[in-house]
Every structure is written in structure tokens, then in C-alpha cells.
Amino acid sequence: MNIIKFWKPYGVLTQFTDGEGRPTLGAYIDQPGVYAAGRLDMDSEGLLLLTDDTRLKTRLTDPRFEHPRTYWVQVERIPDEAALEQLRRGVQLKDGWTKAAVVERLDAPPDVPERVPPIRFRKNVPDCWISLTLTEGRNRQVRRMTAVVGHPTLRLVRWAIGPITLTGLAPGAWQSLTADEQQALWQSVMKRG
């Protein structure tokens, strides 16, 4: 079984080929037979797990298993406790209410490299980073949730999928999971559902 973790850079599609010539995983990963267990939008960055194990892929992506994913989100303005509480309880989106989430405002920006290209900077509009852990994965869910509470997403970095984090990676880099990481991931996915 092959499981790798990859720091998907901004502007890269979560697929190996693209008829329009846009950047894809194929420019970074040369491991045959592995496929992404989930997606990250082109304008999102961060952790992507790839595997050749269909059972693991199902456990990580099927909503009934409610596997946690943690995002670091740079938002416009400073959310107050009421906005954070809305995100924690769940918000109404066009496709229904979101499930409860674990949300906290970060005291300092996370230690991530500057994005290329950088986010738009507005001198008179402050920004803030929050940590948001979801157990569902709707299309552009984090961006839609922060917009509903009045704090549009400026930058989105997926930091963790269950117990696996970006630790030890740089944007565009990948590595195979260690035996301990594989064991922790399997334990995490098997205790749900």
C-alpha cells in the first residue's frame, strides 16, 4: 500500500492531467497508481493525501465516515466571538446547514510560507487567521461558511487530515507516510462509521 502526503501549492489542480494545460499534480508527483483521496480547489493550498488503496480513499472521502480535516483560514476583518460561535454551531448554506465545526481564532499567523502570488492586501481592512476543523466536505465549504458570517476567505491552507499534518513539507513537496503515520491514519479512519 502506498500513501503519500503532498503540499498542494496554490494554482494547482487536484488531478494528474488537464486538457487546458493548467498545472496539475503530475508536475510534482511521479508515483504511479496513486490517486487523490479528496480534493482541494485550485485556489486552495495544503495537505492532500494520495493512495493506491481504494478502501482508505473511501474512508477518507465518504461523508458518512465524518473524517476530520483542519484548515487554517486567513479571513477579512477580525471575527468576533459571535461569528466564531456561528461557525461552531453550523451555518445555513444554499445546500443546507453545515455540521458543527471546531473553530478558534489564532493568536498569530501560522508558520506557512508566503503564497505565490500573494493575497490581495487592503491597507484599511485588517485580517485574521482562524483554525477550522470540519467533518464534511462540501464544494468550497470553508469559503462559503466564512462568507456567510461576514468574513470572506483570503487564503485557505488545509493543515491536517485526521492525524496527518503538513509538518516536514514545503509547498510542492511530497513524502511517503512513515509506518507510524500509516498506523495512526488507519486507526483514525476505522474508529468512525
CATH number at residue 2: 3.30.70.580
pLDDT(192) > 70: no
CATH number at residue 109: 3.30.70.1560
pLDDT at 41: 93
Give bridge partners of residue 71 from the DSSP assignment: 132, 158
Among 6, 9, 4, which residue's Cα sits nearest to residue 113?
9
> How many domains in the chain?
2
Tell me the per-residue pLDDT of 12-40, one tens digit each, with 9 for 90 and over. 999 999 999 999 999 999 988 999 998 99
Alpha-carbon distances of 118 from 5, 37, 113, rounded to whole Å: 24, 27, 10
Contact (CB, 8 A) for 190 and 183? no
Q: Domain containing 128: what range? A: 68-161
* Domain identity same for 134 and 58: no
Grid cell, residue 88, equals 461552531
* Domain identity same for 97 and 107: yes
Phi and psi at 104, nearest 5°, equal -150, 145
* Domain identity same for 4 and 58: yes
* Domain identity same for 49 and 82: no
* Domain identity same for 39 and 78: no
* Domain identity same for 60 and 133: no
User: Does the predicted TM-score (pTM) go above 0.75?
Assistant: yes
Tell me the per-residue pLDDT of 124-166, one tens digit each, with 9 for 90 and over. 889 999 999 999 888 899 999 999 999 999 999 999 999 999 9
* 6 vs 171: CA distance, rounded Å: 8
Catalytic-labelled residue, pool 41, 52, 53, 127:
41
* Domain identity same for 78 and 56: no
Tell me the per-residue pLDDT of 61-70, one tens digit each, with 9 for 90 and over. 888 888 899 9
* Domain identity same for 116 and 101: yes
* 161 vs 135: CA distance, rounded Å: 10
* Domain identity same for 118 and 143: yes
Catalytic, 18? Answer no
Helix 81-89, helix 141-148: angle, nearest 10: 140
* Domain identity same for 87 and 45: no
* Domain identity same for 74 and 152: yes
* Domain identity same for 16 and 1: yes
SS3 13: strand
Contact (CB, 8 A) for 10 and 115? yes
Angle at 161 between CA 28 and CA 71, to 5 degrees: 90
Nearest 10 degrees: Cα torsion 111, 37, 23, 71 = -30
Alpha-carbon distances of 163 from 35, 168, 180, rounded to whole Å: 20, 14, 11
Give the number of other Cβ atoms within 10 Å of residue 77's Cβ: 13
